[in-house]
């Protein structure tokens, strides 16, 4: 992380590291200057700059190539850059993305008046519209609609060309931002990260009192186009207003990217929270298992200690019994055999010896 004190200029290598670590749109705000000034200085200092789409490729984990800083020459070797770092301002993230789109994808924001070199999506929509005829009934009266192709396109014939041009520019801009457009079932969707967005264009209608005795209301075309993205709770619509729809393309794509970032952050937040819960449950289960193991081990320890204690008492008794027989001169073959038998039982009982027994097992200890 680069930190500069106010009033301290930076050198060529430091600026090279910065322009490859932070987008110039953000960097210019940190220095309180313009993008063009930073680009001009980099050109003067022979500092390579990221190409269009560089930061989008990084955002979506695509491979990027970072060129080395060229050696200093006679023009740059004695130069310093008179840019003073200022306290970074809080920048609205959506505005930042819009600015990035408008700078790096400028050529895709110009909506033509005719469909020229159309995207495949536009071609298919256009073919479907050419097969369509204006409806004569109900709400769709006088409108062209794409029934076969999986993008909702609903406009009057006089606005069809304009709507196609907007759609084509929008689709090309989406692709220029390294996002995919894929068919999911019956519907085409824009894919940004792990999120999917449906999209379409329609022409607004207003409801008026019907003139036909069979219909209470009629619907009149307004000429106002609406571009919609998403569905259900994430659906958002953009329409002609203070700005025409053509002027809003950067904001529409930027909002999709911004919304994806928000959902990604929210998902990470939920994952982190779930990880905490899972870890707490894991520790709880581990503690329960450990407790059971401890209880089992302690039970076994007490069991063995009792066996050992009983074997010590038993050996002491056998020893005294034998000494008493010798003292009283009552030792016989039968008594000697009993003493040997008793000692074998003491060895079987002793956990340090675990002597074998032909008839008894460890489970038989419970009965003694």
Look at residue 123 and tell me if it is in a domain. Answer: yes
Domain boundary among 248, 268, 288: 268
- Tens-digit pLDDT profile for residues 240-285: 999 999 999 999 999 999 999 999 888 888 988 999 999 999 999 9
Residues 32-46: pLDDT tens digits?
A: 777 888 888 888 888
Asked if residue 148 has pLDDT above 80, the reply is no
pLDDT of residue 339: 93
Domain-terminating residue out of 268, 297, 330: 268
In a shared domain, residues 169 and 33: no
Are 23 and 171 part of one and the same domain?
A: no
61 belongs to a structural domain: yes
Query: Are the C-beta atoms of residues 208 and 219 closer than 8 Å to each other?
Result: yes
Range of the domain at 79: 12-90
* 133 and 213 in a common domain: yes
DSSP output for 352-367: TT----SS--GGGGGG
Distance CA 86, CA 29 (A): 9
Instruction: Quickly state the pLDDT bin for 78 (edges 50, 70, 90).
Output: low
90: confidence class by pLDDT, cuts 50, 70, 90? very low
Measured in whole angstroms, how far is the alpha carbon of residue 237 from the centre of its chain? 25
Provide the whole-model pTM: 0.60
| Whether residues 177 and 55 fall in one domain | no
Based on the fold, state whether residues 64 and 140 are members of the same structural domain.
Answer: no
- Decide if 290 is inside a domain: no
- 288 within a domain of the structure (yes/no): no
CB atoms within 10 A of CB 129: 20
Does residue 312 sit within a domain?
A: no
Assess if residue 293 is contained within a domain. no
* Statement to judge: residues 59 and 140 lie in one domain: no
pLDDT bracket for residue 296 (50, 70, 90): very high
Region 50-58: mean pLDDT is: 86
* Domain co-membership, 139 together with 44: no
113 plus 153 within the same structural domain: yes
d(CA 79, CA 15): 12
Q: Does any domain span residue 173? A: yes
| Confidence at 357, pLDDT banded by 50, 70, 90 | confident
Range picked from 70-84, 169-183, 196-210 for highest mean pLDDT: 169-183
Domain total of the chain: 2
Q: Encode pLDDT of 198-248 as tens digits.
A: 999 999 988 776 666 566 667 788 899 999 999 888 889 999 999 999 999
pLDDT, averaged across the chain: 84
Is residue 238 within 8 Å of 247, Cβ to Cβ? no
pLDDT beyond 80 at 180: yes
Is the predicted pLDDT of residue 87 greater than 50, yes or no?
A: no
Q: Do 232 and 163 lie in a common domain?
A: yes
Pair 262, 152 in one domain: yes
Is 183 a member of any domain? yes
Interval 168-178 mean pLDDT: 95
Cα radius of gyration (the chain): 42
- In this structure, the answer to whether residues 51 and 127 fall within a common structural domain is no
| Cα–Cα distance measured from residue 154 to residue 146, given in angstroms and rounded to the nearest whole number | 7
Quote the percentage of the chain above a pLDDT of 90.
Answer: 44
* Boundary-marking domain end, from 90, 118, 140: 90
**Residues 116 and 211 both lie in one domain:** yes
């Amino acid at each position: 992380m680069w930190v500069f004190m106010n009033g301290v200029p930076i050198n060529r290598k430091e600026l090279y590291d910065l322009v490859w670590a932070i987008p110039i749109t953000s960097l210019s705000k940190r220095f309180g200057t313009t993008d063009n000034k930073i680009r001009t200085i980099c050109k003067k200092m022979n500092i390579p700059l990221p190409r269009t789409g560089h930061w989008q490729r990084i955002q979506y984990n695509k491979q990027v190539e970072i060129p080395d800083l060229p050696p200093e020459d006679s023009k740059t070797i004695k130069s310093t850059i008179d840019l003073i770092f200022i306290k970074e301002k809080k920048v609205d993230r959506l505005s930042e993305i819009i600015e990035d789109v408008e700078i790096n994808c400028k050529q895709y924001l110009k909506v033509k008046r005719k469909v020229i070199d159309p995207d495949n999506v536009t071609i298919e929509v256009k073919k479907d519209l050419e097969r369509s005829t204006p409806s004569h009934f109900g709400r769709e009266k006088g409108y062209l609609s794409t029934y076969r192709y999986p993008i909702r396109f609903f406009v009057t014939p006089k606005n069809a060309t304009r709507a196609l041009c907007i759609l084509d520019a929008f689709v090309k801009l989406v692709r220029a931002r390294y996002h995919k457009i894929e068919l999911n079932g019956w519907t085409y969707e824009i894919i940004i990260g792990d999120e999917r967005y449906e999209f379409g264009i329609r022409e607004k209608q207003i409801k008026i009192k019907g003139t036909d005795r069979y219909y209470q209301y009629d619907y009149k075309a307004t000429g106002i186009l609406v571009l919609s993205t998403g569905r259900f709770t994430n659906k958002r619509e953009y329409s002609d207003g203070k700005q025409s729809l053509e002027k809003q393309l950067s904001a529409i794509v930027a909002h999709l990217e911004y919304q994806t970032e928000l959902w990604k952050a929210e998902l990470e937040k939920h994952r982190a929270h779930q990880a905490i819960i899972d870890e707490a449950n894991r520790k709880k289960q581990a503690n329960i298992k450990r407790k059971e193991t401890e209880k089992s081990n302690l039970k076994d320890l007490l069991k063995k200690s009792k066996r050992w204690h009983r074997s010590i008492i038993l050996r002491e008794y056998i020893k005294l019994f034998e000494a008493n027989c010798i003292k009283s001169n009552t030792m016989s073959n039968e008594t000697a055999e009993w003493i040997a038998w008793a000692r074998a039982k003491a060895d079987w009982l002793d956990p340090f010896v675990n002597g074998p027994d032909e008839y008894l097992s460890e489970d038989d200890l419970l009965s003694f």
